[in-house]
């Protein structure tokens, strides 16, 4: 998995009809700055609304995943999102003329090809992974659906489907490495059972569906009286000789378990709506868009809760920056280099560690019989941790001096003493502009918050 964020080098355009609306639409994938995430924009509407690819904006999951914000609606987003996850693209703007992403051939392969043709490029920011810390389960007893996200320091998916069908039997699909996505998952097409087609069409759906963008599955021979109607819907004349039970398409299945692989493709796309790349093992039995999105909501809820809790520290995981690396970034030296390692860093948040020992010079004179870490040094440690975040955001940290120019709302909640380990998190309150960075900083000992502060820093060229 990529450690740094990626976007694309230049725009690329795709066009085609929407699966459900049947309308011709055009999308253009464009490069985007670090920490932009995936954002759709309806450029055909007067106010050109932006719709972030986040579960917060899901408004429909009946037959595809639909997003809406500020009057801008975008449907069938799952295939392009799946391709972006499979290609490990973090930041991209998707301009769209129309209300639905084109279905193309019913798979995500055309999107993968477009992304590759646009030349993915590394950006100067660490990817903001979210690693599942404890198992998350979703179950729908009525539909016999179960999905779980389990802790794993990688990204894997395992899917089982069972349609109670004599044509499509129980199937499994797995993806253990993202580098296999293009070959083994992206070519797999969406599918539909003949007994669902007329119902979907009567409900105003699959107006753009045909034999070129979906696998059509017949559970039994089609009665003569329904052939003409189905021929019109599917855009292909069907005759009795070609309508016995089985796959009606001229092209055979890409894989024996293509339906299960497509369900995995959809699951990846829907989970992209968490808004961050995941480290987890996703296990899904009979998933669909509604259940996928519900799991995404539960993961997002865990993320939101973790952002107010003390960051987790695993001493077995190598740091992002060692104490020697920090010395290359910051101008501070003994006795004022107060951060020992950086354990997490992305474009908006940094987590650092400060080990408090009795050997530090301040304890000689600061309550020597009852040593307590001075509050001003706690703030300095938080500021230095934030300095790493601000300097690395420039791409050229060696060209700048970081200065702390403002402190607000500083609070100390508990004494910090030798033997404690400060876990420090700094988060940008807003994007850095004109060299000015506003941050919130917090420090914990264990799970206890000991200090919080709002800071302003300025970058000055050397």
Catalytic residues: 289, 366
Q: Give 164: exposed, middle or buried? Use CB within 10 Å, 0-12, 13-18, 19+.
A: exposed
CB 270 within 8 A of CB 292: yes
Q: Give 365: exposed, middle or buried? Use CB within 10 Å, 0-12, 13-18, 19+.
A: exposed
Other Cβ atoms less than 10 A from the Cβ of 324: the count is 8
CB 400 within 8 A of CB 391: yes
**Residue for token pair 């992974």:** 129
CB 149 within 8 A of CB 139: no
Name the β-bridge partners of 350. Answer: 345, 426
Other Cβ atoms less than 10 A from the Cβ of 370: the count is 8
CB 106 within 8 A of CB 213: yes
Its sign, for the CA torsion 370, 376, 378, 381, is negative
Other Cβ atoms less than 10 A from the Cβ of 226: the count is 14
- Separation between Cα atoms, residue 198 and residue 234, nearest integer Å: 10
Peptide bond into 169 cis (omega under 30): no
Its sign, for the CA torsion 77, 83, 86, 88, is negative
- Separation between Cα atoms, residue 274 and residue 293, nearest integer Å: 9
**Residue for token pair 């039994």:** 220
Instruction: Write out the two tokens for 24.
Output: 């011709």
Instruction: Write out the two tokens for 109.
Output: 């392969």
Closest CA to 13 of 30, 28, 24, 1: 28
- Separation between Cα atoms, residue 241 and residue 275, nearest integer Å: 48
């Amino acid at each position: 998995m990529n450690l740094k964020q990626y976007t694309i080098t230049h725009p690329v355009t795709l066009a085609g009809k929407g699966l459900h609306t049947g309308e011709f639409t055009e999308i253009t994938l464009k490069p985007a700055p670090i920490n932009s995430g995936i954002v759709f924009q309806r450029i055909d509407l007067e106010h050109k609304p932006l719709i972030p690819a986040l579960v917060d904006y899901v408004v429909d999951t009946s037959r595809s995943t639909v997003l809406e914000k500020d009057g801008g609606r975008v449907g069938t987003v799952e295939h392009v999102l799946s391709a972006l996850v499979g290609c490990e693209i973090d930041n991209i703007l998707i301009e769209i003329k129309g209300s639905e992403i084109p279905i193309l051939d019913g798979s995500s392969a055309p999107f993968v090809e477009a992304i590759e043709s646009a030349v993915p490029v590394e950006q100067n920011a660490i990817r903001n992974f979210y690693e599942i810390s404890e198992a998350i389960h979703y179950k729908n007893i009525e539909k016999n659906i179960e999905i779980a996200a389990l802790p794993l320091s990688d990204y894997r998916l395992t899917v089982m489907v069972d349609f109670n069908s004599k044509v499509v039997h129980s199937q499994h699909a797995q993806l253990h490495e993202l580098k296999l996505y293009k070959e083994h998952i992206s070519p797999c097409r969406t599918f539909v059972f003949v007994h669902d087609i007329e119902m979907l069409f009567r409900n105003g759906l699959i107006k753009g569906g045909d034999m070129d963008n979906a696998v059509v599955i017949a559970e039994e021979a089609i009665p003569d009286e329904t052939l003409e109607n189905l021929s019109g819907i599917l855009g292909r004349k069907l005759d009795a000789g070609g309508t016995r039970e089985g796959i009606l398409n001229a092209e055979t299945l890409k894989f024996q378990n293509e339906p299960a692989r497509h369900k995995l493709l959809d699951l990846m796309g829907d989970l992209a709506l968490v808004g961050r790349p995941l480290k987890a093992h996703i296990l899904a039995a009979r998933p669909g868009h509604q259940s996928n999105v519900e799991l995404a909501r539960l993961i997002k809820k865990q993320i939101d809760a973790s952002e107010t809790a003390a960051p987790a520290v695993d001493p077995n995981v190598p740091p992002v920056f060692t104490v020697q690396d920090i010395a290359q970034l910051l101008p501070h030296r003994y006795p004022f280099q107060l951060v020992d390692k950086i354990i997490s860093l992305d474009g908006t948040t940094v987590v650092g560690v400060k080990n408090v020992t009795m050997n530090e010079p301040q304890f000689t004179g600061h309550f020597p019989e009852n040593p307590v870490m001075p509050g001003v040094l706690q703030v300095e440690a938080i500021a230095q941790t934030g300095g790493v975040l601000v300097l690395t955001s420039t791409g050229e940290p060696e060209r700048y001096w970081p200065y702390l120019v403002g402190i607000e709302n500083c609070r100390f909640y508990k004494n910090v003493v030798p033997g404690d380990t400060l876990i420090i998190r700094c988060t940008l309150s807003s994007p850095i502009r004109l060299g000015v960075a506003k941050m919130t900083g917090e420090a914990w000992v264990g799970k206890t918050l000991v200090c919080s502060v709002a800071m302003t820093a300025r970058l000055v060229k050397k």
